[in-house]
Amino acid sequence: MSRNACAIVAFIACFALTHGVVDAQGGKKQFGGKKGAGFIPPGATPPDVKQDADARTKQGPTYMPLQVGNRWEYSLTQNGKSGTLISKIARIEVVSNIALAVLESEVDGKVTSTEILREIDLGVIRLRSGQLAPTPPFLILRSPAKGGDKWNAAFVVGKNKGTYVVETAEEEIDVPAGKFKTIQTAMTIRLGTGKPSTTKTWYAQNVGIVKQAVGDDVVAVLQDFSVPSAVAKAGDGIAASDAGQGGLAAGGLAAVGLAAAKEVKSKYAIYYPIDVGNRWEYDFSVNGAVSANKLVMRIGRLETDTTLPLSVLETEVDGKIVATEHLRQTEQGVFRFRADNQVHSPALLIAKTPLKGGDKWGGTFTVGNKKKTYAAETSDEVVDVPAGKFKTVRVKSTLEEQGKKTTTILWFAENIGFVKQSLDGDGLKIVAELRSHELKQGPTEARRAFPEPRKGVPTEGSGLRKE
């Protein structure tokens, strides 16, 4: 690779450090019918906003319906004592910019636990239980749900490491609410060198949890349920029971579930379209010398990071991929979650929504054990580049680490992306200017805040044209 090509790689890496990435965080497992296991996504802002809890790209039957108002009533036996447990999806709550289902569990009319749940294409994920947060979230039930499946993972709680294993089986069971064809999961968790604990959960299609057992001490069986959003009927996995009645949502034991969030339409313009297939080609210079290398950026694919679909931005120099970034757009703006293998916590805001001149934002983040700070400020500016003349919002970001400063500037044009970018720091000045671009109009899973394609998406060289 030429010196100029190497320089642009350094530029991309440095710019990525300015904006960063984020890991997912989780929640700690508890036993004995007190609080369910769960995980919370990165204290670092994984963005997305929806109004229910089903983030699957293809809708169909679910084994954990998470719409607000769904309610399950159980007969609870704990250490020889009996009682009634009621679980319900009480509300949608936005946690780290993700709308999640809040499952509340009540005993004798008193809320004893809350859990944060989400369902994605991968399956049902538990994000949080109370304030406990392991990393990463647990995959409680994998899709498609079936007997004979098995998966496992490692996790971290504070300074403690743990592992869990889940095995599934098909089983027909009889509970007070009726007879159900179920998928039974047996999840065995070991934290550190402690004794392993096993929770068994029986899921019925379009109903939820119909039975759950935590070790030998706690057992809950379904007495009644109301799931109007996913009407249950024979043939949907229920052998006997009234449609829309009966089913368990695992609150108060080892809760289940993690659904999605419906897209929220935004009234604001898009300044960084991150749909798969979008492509930008730039001319660039290094310390004033124009490079003969070809720089291309494109949204190559979607990847799921823990629970979130992210757009992968690939940067090529002379046809070779030299860098990747993982992006996601929310109503708050465009966030960078990862740059190559560098994870920043929290995720950094690249372009705020609404994007306008005269705005400021910033914060502190970490990369490994290193702490960094950044500050961004915006202004309105018309710029002239090979692709044309554009009205832009200029975003100037300054990164500081141990007294060293690096400045990156991006000029964003509405519905196009950045038409110009520059990096200045450590004796290196690089400037890239847009030569051409090709945009797709279809929205991606990673751009959930804007479910409908916008009208008038510009084609190559559009904007304020050169005279």
Check if the beta carbon of residue 284 is closer than 8 Å to that of residue 317: no
The per-residue pLDDT for range 407-455, each reduced to its tens digit, is 999 999 999 999 999 988 878 888 999 999 999 754 444 444 333 323 3
CB within 8 Å of 438: residues ≥ 6 apart? 277, 278, 279, 459, 460
pTM over 0.95: no
The per-residue pLDDT for range 91-105, each reduced to its tens digit, is 887 656 677 888 888
Q: What burial letters (b/e) apply to 325-346, b meaning 16+ CB within 10 Å?
A: bbbbbbbebbbbbbbeeebbbb
More confident residue, 341 or 269: 269
Tokens at residue 58, please? 């293809």
Of the candidate ranges 57-66, 126-135, 246-255, the one whose mean pLDDT is the lowest: 246-255
Write the single-letter amino acid at 259: A
The class level of CATH for 3-22+264-447 reads mainly beta
Q: What is the CATH number of domain 71-240?
A: 2.40.360
**Mean pLDDT on 341-366:** 86
- Average pLDDT along the chain: 73
Check if the beta carbon of residue 175 is closer than 8 Å to that of residue 160: no
Integer CA distances (angstroms), 62 to 54, 88, 237, 356, in order? 9, 16, 11, 42
Residues 67, 40: Cα–Cα separation, whole Å: 19
The per-residue pLDDT for range 51-94, each reduced to its tens digit, is 456 777 777 788 998 888 889 999 988 877 888 889 998 888 76
- Judged on CB neighbours under 10 Å (0-12, 13-18, 19+), 427 is exposed
Question: Cα–Cα–Cα angle for 392, 395, 396, nearest 5°?
Answer: 140
- Phi, psi dihedral angles at 465 (to 5 degrees): -70, 150
Other Cβ atoms closer than 10 A to 429: 16
Other Cβ atoms closer than 10 A to 60: 9
Strands 279-286 and 428-438: antiparallel
- Phi, psi dihedral angles at 107 (to 5 degrees): -125, 125
Q: Is the pLDDT of residue 280 over 90?
A: yes
The per-residue pLDDT for range 114-125, each reduced to its tens digit, is 887 888 888 888
* Sole residue written with tokens 């369902």: 119
Same fold, 3-22+264-447 and 71-240: yes
**Mean pLDDT on 297-323:** 83
- Phi, psi dihedral angles at 122 (to 5 degrees): -70, -30
Residues 103, 125: Cα–Cα separation, whole Å: 13
List beta partners, residue 376.
361, 397
Tokens at residue 445, please? 């899973």
Would you call 353 helix, strand, or coil by DSSP? coil
pLDDT above 70 covers what percent of the chain? 70
- Phi, psi dihedral angles at 57 (to 5 degrees): -80, -25
Integer CA distances (angstroms), 377 to 161, 399, 426, in order? 40, 12, 21
Domain spans in the chain, listed from the N-terminal domain onward: 3-22+264-447, 71-240
CB within 8 Å of 3: residues ≥ 6 apart? 286
Of the candidate ranges 6-20, 44-58, 196-210, 340-354, the one whose mean pLDDT is the lowest: 6-20
The per-residue pLDDT for range 208-237, each reduced to its tens digit, is 999 999 877 789 999 888 886 543 332 233
Would you call 86 helix, strand, or coil by DSSP? strand
